[in-house]
Amino acid sequence: MDSEPIFNLSEHRVPGPATCYYIPDFITARTACLLAALLKILLSSGGNNSLIAGGSSCSLLQLWGSSRSPLRSSQEFTETGGELTSNNALIAQPMPPFVESYPDIIARLQRTGAFARSPHGKPNHIIMNEYRPGQGECYVTYFAANPPQPSDVQGIMPHEDGPAYHPVVATISLQSHCVFHYYRYKEDENGPETAGKSIDPTPVLSVLLEPRSVVISQDDLYASHLHAIREVEEDVIHSTLLEIDQSMRLPIANRDKLTSPSAIQFVNEGGTLKRETRYSLTCRDVQKVVQLKALFGKR
């Protein structure tokens, strides 16, 4: 097991208008290597690898093609912890050992304190994604105002994670960096409901996620913002600003929190940072949980 520090979340606050924490080196290089290798095997075997997934007790396979992401191909997507019902309840399932025992990802996230006020005090649902630059498609629909369109480069369209979860999400990055952008809706359109509102195309916060880091979004950033990963094969910085397109350049909000030499050099000296295949673990606490036997009645 990783024996480990209690994290002081306030030290990791990303400067900006909403509650975001960035913890670099959240998991060790050894743990990251192991996890990425496991996820690669698991995702490329369509989740049907009982050795890794924890035997019949963890039915990753049946979660394939979840109704929450009908557009995403099964090889790029899995969930652990269980599937969500149509009324946003989690059908309880055991977590696989590689998030609970070794490596102890869930315990480590608990030590950040980010889930201290969540209903179960820890994540009970983890989505694993693989993003391959330049191939295929990878996105979720959720509650996005603009439904995602297929694309050749993998990213994730602006979306909200929605009301099924307690408003905290922790995303661990493995193997490659990427840039997470947070957006808000344009104001004064269509009343208070978010659905149907248009998204302000200028991100309010852009955070560079290094491999082995965790980014935690909560409160207002969870509840009233959207997040996305742009579908680019490389990121470009000019004079310390990230190039979004020809007319938009933005600062990297966590530039003072980066630790890897390549990321530090990139943000300070500019240039390009090529994305490699990235694996992510998106960890949340689903508020409502139902046991299968409660759904189907006891025998």
Ligand X SMILES: O=C(O)CCC(=O)C(=O)O
Residues that bind Fe ion (CB under 5 A): 161
Q: Which of residues 220-239 bind ligand X (CB under 6 A)?
A: 227
Provide, rounded to whole angstroms, the least separation between the CB of residue 274 and ligand X: 18
- CB 143 within 8 Å of CB 68: no
With CB under 6 A as the contact rule, the residue among 23, 156, 168, 216 that binds ligand X is 156
Provide, rounded to whole angstroms, the least separation between the CB of residue 262 and Fe ion: 26
With CB under 6 A as the contact rule, the residue among 161, 231, 235, 285 that binds ligand X is 161
Provide, rounded to whole angstroms, the least separation between the CB of residue 216 and ligand X: 12
Provide, rounded to whole angstroms, the least separation between the CB of residue 156 and ligand X: 5
- Produce one character per residue of 65-87: b if its CB has 16 or more CB atoms within 10 Å, e if not: ebebbeebeebbbbbbbbbbeee
With CB under 5 to 8 Å by kind, the binding choice for 127 among Fe ion, ligand X, none is ligand X
- CB 194 within 8 Å of CB 232: no
User: Degrees (nearest 5) of the Cα angle 230, 30, 277?
Assistant: 25
Instruction: Give me 8's structure tokens.
Output: 């002081």
Provide, rounded to whole angstroms, the least separation between the CB of residue 101 and Fe ion: 26
Provide, rounded to whole angstroms, the least separation between the CB of residue 54 and ligand X: 21
End-to-end CA distance of the chain: 39
Cβ atoms within 10 Å, residue 25:
14
DSSP track, 200-263:
PSS-SEEEEE-TT-EEEEETHHHHSEEEEE---SEEEEETTEEEEETTEEEE-TTGGG--SHHH
> Minimal CB distance to ligand X: which residue?
280
Nearest to 27 by CA among 206, 128, 174, 181: 174
Q: Residues near 247 by Cβ (< 8 Å), separated by ≥ 6?
A: none
With CB under 6 A as the contact rule, the residue among 133, 203, 282, 283 that binds ligand X is 282
With CB under 5 to 8 Å by kind, the binding choice for 104 among ligand X, Fe ion, none is none
By the rule CB under 6 A, 206 interacts with ligand X: no
**How far is Cα 165 from Cα 138, in angstroms, rounded to an integer?**
21
Q: Which helix (H) or strand (E) segment is 183 a member of?
A: strand 178-184
Q: Give the up-direction half-sphere exposure of residue 193: CA atoms within 13 A in the CB hemisphere.
A: 6
Residues binding ligand X: number (CB under 6 A): 9
Provide, rounded to whole angstroms, the least separation between the CB of residue 184 and ligand X: 16
The site map against ligand X for 102-141 (x = CB under 6 A) is -------------------------x-x----------x-
Judged by beta carbon, residue 98 or residue 142, the one nearer Fe ion is 142
With CB under 5 to 8 Å by kind, the binding choice for 63 among ligand X, Fe ion, none is none
Judged by beta carbon, residue 80 or residue 171, the one nearer ligand X is 171
Interface residue list for ligand X (CB under 6 A):
127, 129, 140, 156, 161, 171, 227, 280, 282
